[in-house]
Amino acid sequence: MSDITPMLSSYSPAANHDLLPHSVPFFNSTLMSPHTPQNRLDMKIDKFIYGTAWKQNRTALLVYEAIKAGFRSIDTGALPMHYDEKQTGIGIYWAMVEGIAQRTDLHVQTKFVPMICQDEMNVPYNPSDHILKQIQDSIISSLQHFSFPGYGPAYIDSLVLHLPLSSRAEIYSAWRFLEYFVPFPIRSLGLSNITVAQLQDLIMKTGIRPCIIQNRFYRYTRWEVQLRNFCRNEGIIFQSFWTLTANYYLCRTKVVREIAQELYWLGVFQPEIVALYALVLGLDGISIMNGTTNPFRMKADLDGLNLVSNLIMGEWKEKWVIWVSTFKTMISDFEWEKEDN
């Protein structure tokens, strides 16, 4: 353990329970307004995030195309079996060189992934090392991939601790170690695959609160209603994955088809998908991971959601309340809202 020397910032988690107060819930004015986590009011995280999993040697080009299409939040991970961090960084660099976006325009998030989820033959740390050393080496590797010559020192906007770990004690230990890297070279922290009970415990027992929680959004976890409600009340952004893959059947429901029909006449591409995405965003406090490999659909999805956002502010204002209410009932959101009131 003596060789673990984190790249400490001047921030001390023992001296500061949070970077900023968290007594007022975060608020977003429109459907597509970026989120601002409650404890990092200087950060903006888009509602629509480009996910880079399973892109292999296409990763750099697809990340570049995503930024060109309008995505400003990019998700990757230090998990070579599923992600290519280096190629993600190359795609970001191409976009910056062309002047499409500056580094400060982007929210780049990656993950520390424990050995239980890794391929032993391709891992960004020594599998036999202590987990804290693994975390440090993983962060160093990630920072190398997001080092852009001529664009200032490398940093990561959000580092997500990917669960499971062996115990809650190990989760707390890993989290406390990660705190030492905040606010530089890591600006904020998050967790993936966590339960509401684990999250509540972690907030009680550690210093820096997570800015994001990244979990599956599907019926086998009841669409994480309880966890999402807790996150929303705490000003933590819930990032959903498998949003379309595991919920495509919802596109056939009456409320989605009703919205899709109106979008169809407005020329929206794949209106049923845009309608579903819009309803999920309408749950509030949520961002969606989008991993399309089709550059046309990247822009079409963003354009469609921006159109819906404008319609909600105007002619759809009253209808939208009814549609979202129907969708909430369908996935049982109201059940937890009633219990909290």
Which domains, from first to last, does the chain contain? 34-216 (3.20.20.100), 246-341 (no CATH)
Give the pLDDT score at 20: 41
Give the pLDDT score at 341: 46
Give the pLDDT score at 29: 63
Residue 274 near residue 308 (C-beta atoms within 8 A): yes
- 165 forms bridges with which residues in the sheet? none
Using 50, 70 and 90 to split pLDDT, how confident is the model at 2? very low
Give the pLDDT score at 38: 87
pLDDT tens-digit map of 42-101: 999 999 999 999 999 999 999 999 999 999 999 999 999 999 999 999 999 999 999 999
Q: Nearest to residue 30, comparing CAs of 311, 329, 327, 263?
A: 311
Q: What is the mean pLDDT of residues 296-325?
A: 98
As a dihedral over the C-alpha atoms of residue 148, residue 149, residue 153, residue 158, rounded to 10 degrees, the angle is 0
- Spatial distance between the Cα atoms of 69 and 80, rounded to a whole number of angstroms: 26
Number of H helices, E strands in the chain: 11, 8
Residue in the block written with tokens 């807790």:
230
Percent of the chain with pLDDT over 70: 89
On the question of pLDDT at 16 being above 50, the answer is no
Residue 162 near residue 117 (C-beta atoms within 8 A): yes
On the question of pLDDT at 18 being above 50, the answer is no
Is this model's pTM higher than 0.85 or not?
yes
- At residue 110, the 3 state secondary structure works out as strand
Residue in the block written with tokens 């669409």:
223
Give the pLDDT score at 339: 46
Percent of the chain with pLDDT over 90: 87
Burial of 183 (0-12, 13-18, 19+ CB in 10 A): middle
Residue 251 near residue 261 (C-beta atoms within 8 A): no
* Ranges of H-type helices in 182-235: 196-205, 225-234
Give the pLDDT score at 210: 98
Strand 107-112 versus strand 237-241 pairing type: unpaired
Burial of 53 (0-12, 13-18, 19+ CB in 10 A): middle
Q: What is the average pLDDT score of the chain? A: 91
Give the pLDDT score at 333: 60
Output the CA–CA distances (angstroms, integers) from residue 205 to 78, 162, 192, 214, 335, in the order listed: 26, 18, 18, 20, 29
39-43, 267-271, 317-321, range with the lowest pLDDT: 39-43
pLDDT tens-digit map of 200-245: 999 999 999 999 999 999 999 999 999 999 999 999 999 999 999 9
